Structure 1
Amino acid sequence: MLKEFKAFIARGNVLDLAVAVIIGAAFGRIVTSLTEDILMPLIGKVSGGLDFSGYFLRLGPVPAGYTGSPDDYAALKKAGVPLLGYGEFLTVAVNFVIVAFIIFLVVRAANKLVDLRSAPAAEPADVTLLREIRDELKRRP
């Protein structure tokens, strides 16, 4: 069983997948930072200084022992208050759109490279000329 596992791990597909997962996780962190630290504050600034991550609706009562702010989403969530965090959802949705767009650009570029590689090479001019001469000779009686 150990030999089979080693053979499975040594396959190129598994190693490629592992590398892709690791790079994907790092890429996800970069996009999350881009969204949370750059884009959403800019969007908040344009919309009047609003912080989208703080938009929520309380769906239940605040526990009696809660001493934090009633407007602190993270503290209320930590205290176990049921919340509808639509601002957090908006941030994650923007994050997703950015990731999807970047993946689209990468796939598009890769497809263009594949098309360039698979396109037949142009025939050299001397071969074309020789082909024309051959065809002309065939037409003569």
Structure 2
Amino acid sequence: MGMLKEFKEFAMRGNVMDLAIGIILGAAFSLIVNSVVNDLFMPIVGKAIGDMDFSNLYIPLSEEVPAGLALEEARKLGAVFAWGNFVTVLINFLILAFIIFLVIRSMNKLMRKKAAAPSVPPAPTKEEVLLTEMRDALNKLVAK
């Protein structure tokens, strides 16, 4: 029973929960980046270089794979060198890495501003003011 309680404490600690939330958000963000690359960026690149669909560009490595098939169909028939898919994944990675760089850069700027801002000491409490007045009055009596 002690091990179960210890595991529950570990799992409910803030760092583990933050990590779980980060992984879930990262997976959702990855879907967005995939859509940006596959649905927005790659069609424009393909159109610019002559109506090419990068996701279906490959070199057959097996004699059983005829040229001109869609990548998934070609993979069913034999080995293929899917360089177009690799280019798409590489662009995906570069966009994701750049976005993460921008986020971390912004966070670092915020942290530097926070560290550079001088902290204003809090105003003294009523008790501190009263004690200071009492100390000053006692010092005047002792000095006489």
Q: TM-score, normalised by structure 2?
A: 0.76
- Counterpart amino acid of 1:74? E
Deviation sequence 1:17-42 (CA, Å, 0-9, x none) = 00000000000000001000100001
Cα distance change of structure 1 residues 83 and 116 upon mapping to structure 2, 3 Å threshold: same
The answer to whether structure 1 residue 86 and structure 2 residue 86 are counterparts is no
The answer to whether structure 1 residue 17 and structure 2 residue 19 are counterparts is yes
- Counterpart amino acid of 2:30? G
The answer to whether structure 1 residue 105 and structure 2 residue 107 are counterparts is no
The answer to whether structure 1 residue 96 and structure 2 residue 93 are counterparts is yes
Q: Larger relative contact order (C-alpha < 8 A, sep ≥ 6)?
A: 1
Q: What pairs with 1:43-58 in structure 2 (closer than 5 Å)?
A: 43-58=45-60
Give the Cα–Cα distance (whole angstroms) in 1 for the partners of residues 90 and 14 of structure 2. Answer: 34
Give the Cα–Cα distance (whole angstroms) in 2 for the partners of residues 71 and 19 of structure 1. Answer: 41
State the number of aligned residues: 118
2:118 aligns to what SS in structure 1?
Answer: coil
Deviation sequence 1:68-102 (CA, Å, 0-9, x none) = 9852111111x151010000000000000000000
Unaligned runs of 5+ in 1: 124-141
Match 2:5 to one of 3, 6, 14: 3
Larger radius of gyration: 2
- Counterpart amino acid of 2:110? L
- Counterpart amino acid of 2:58? F
**What's the CA shift for 1:14?**
0.3
Give the Cα–Cα distance (whole angstroms) in 2 for the partners of residues 111 and 16 of structure 1. Answer: 19
- Counterpart amino acid of 2:74? L
**What's the CA shift for 1:49?**
1.0
Q: Are 2:58 and 2:84, in contact at CA under 8 Å, matched by a contact in 1?
A: yes
**What's the CA shift for 1:122?**
8.6
Give the Cα–Cα distance (whole angstroms) in 2 for the partners of residues 11 and 94 of structure 1. Answer: 36
Q: Are 2:34 and 2:92, in contact at CA under 8 Å, matched by a contact in 1?
A: yes
- Counterpart amino acid of 1:83? V
Unaligned runs of 5+ in 2: 121-144
